[in-house]
Homo-oligomer: A and B are copies of this chain.
Amino acid sequence: MTLQQQTPNIDELIDTITPLLARQDLITLTGVLTPLSTSEIVEVLERLNLKQRAIIHRLLAKDRALEVFEMLPPALQSDLFTGLQDADVSRLFAELDPDDRMWLLDEVPAVLAARLLRGLPEDERVLTAGLLGYRQGSVGRRMTPEFVTTHVGMTAAESIERVRARLADAETVYTIPVLDHGRRVAGIVSLRDLLGADPDAPVEAFMQPAHTSEATEEAEVAARMCTDLRLLALPIVDSESRLIGMLTIDDAVRILEHEESQDAARQGGAEPLNRPYLSTPVFTIVRSRVVWLLVLAVGATLTVQVLSAFEATLAQVTALALFVPLLIGTGGNTGNQAATTVTRALALGDVRPRDILRVLSRELLTGALLGLLLGAIGFGIAALVFAPDMGLVIGLTLLAVCTVAAAVGGIMPLVARAIRVDPAVFSNPFITTFVDATGLVIYFLIARIVLHL
């Protein structure tokens, strides 16, 4: 009787689900799946083909996905892995709009995630990591699933045996996470600790507290953590601290190197090449620079407008034009110094966006001190070579421009980070262009007042 009630239900469900699958309408599909019981979902899965089954299973919430998986017959469990590793299925999820993915896809249960990634060649692994819901740039995309673990109940000798069994395929065997019964990381032992320990000692007795990073964390942040703490490998966990992968120090170094190259290029006002300079076609180099150059040139037309506004003043005292490159150049340099220091401090994690007021006050003070010194020298020279009032104009302008430039240069990278733009994009040339225009306005206003124009 129960069976008879269910059977038509399932048939109807299959009739609803199949066209949705064909249309790849994942959103409606999720709506259909949510009210179903676990056993109903299992029955649906048993009637679908390999790829369909993988897609449906991937749309389930984390806890439900694990329940369903455990209720599947072993043959279908292994089918499910094949289906989820299928390139078409991976791509379907990898190409999801990031916003859709956010609310559509819960994490994959840790035990499945690790097994899914294991044994895949690197390119397929990156694709499959996308299917797991870790977005581009997260450490989930860069971790290795080929690691060795031990267990809180094991001894040193048993742990060494586990290491020996995985020597051939594990990517990292020197840092060994100690898991508890819920697959959570309870601690870390190094192979060195294991070799030095009494063979019968339980690993729990000498394991160290573990540093871990969540798979959704920025790859750069996790990599910096790995190198700062001088770890050979950093365990990567899901939101419930269950182990899914490891970030090895050599991968961490690659991630940071890539970020450094990107920062360096953007601070110079170009897009990173991502390949060796001499083997990059000239046309690609031009393309990496032209957009920024155009944007900056358009920005620089501001200076033409500012100068047009003061053209009468310029015509009266042509000598004012002589100092334009010197003044805006010094402003640009001061701004660049501040921006470079703060961008680097951001990259190293020494400064955070919430420190903006402290950075502002420090840079205002630094800029004023530098401006005071340069202004005094500028006053002296210009007063001697030209006239005392000209000296006053130059001196006061240097003081004002240095102060403004250091402040703008210092807070710009923080503003960029706060609005989630790469701080290096608000790069030195950008700041120079901004400071050029501001500096000219300051210069001519001071000149008008001091020279009574």
Contact = CB atoms under 8 A, between A and B. Distances in A.
Contacts of A164: 195-196
A355 B168 CA distance: 42
A6 interface: no
Given A325-B436, A341-B277, A362-B282, A293 B333 contact: yes
14 contacts: A167-B196, A257-B348, A269-B333, A269-B337, A276-B348, A278-B358, A282-B365, A292-B333, A293-B337, A294-B374, A296-B333, A297-B330, A304-B323, A307-B325
Interface in A318-353: 318-319, 321-326, 328-330, 332-334, 336-337, 339-345, 348, 350-351
Interface in A57-104: none
Nearest to A305: B322
Ranked 3 nearest A-B pairs via Cβ? A268-B340, A277-B345, A303-B325
Interface stretch (A124-132, A134-142, A179-187, A427-435): A427-435
Interface in A242-282: 249-250, 253, 256-257, 260-261, 263-265, 267-270, 273, 276-278, 282
Contacts of A323: 304
Given A318-B311, A374-B297, A264 B267 contact: yes
B340 A265 contact: yes
Given A282-B365, A282-B366, A366-B285, A433 B337 contact: no
Contacts of A378: 297
A267 B267 contact: yes
Interface of A: 160, 163-164, 167-168, 173-174, 191-192, 195-196, 227, 230, 232, 249-250, 253, 256-257, 260-261, 263-265, 267-270, 273, 276-278, 282, 285-286, 289-290, 292-294, 296-297, 300-301, 303-304, 307-308, 311, 314-315, 318-319, 321-326, 328-330, 332-334, 336-337, 339-345, 348, 350-351, 355, 358-359, 362, 365-366, 369-370, 373-374, 377-378, 428-429, 432-433, 436, 440
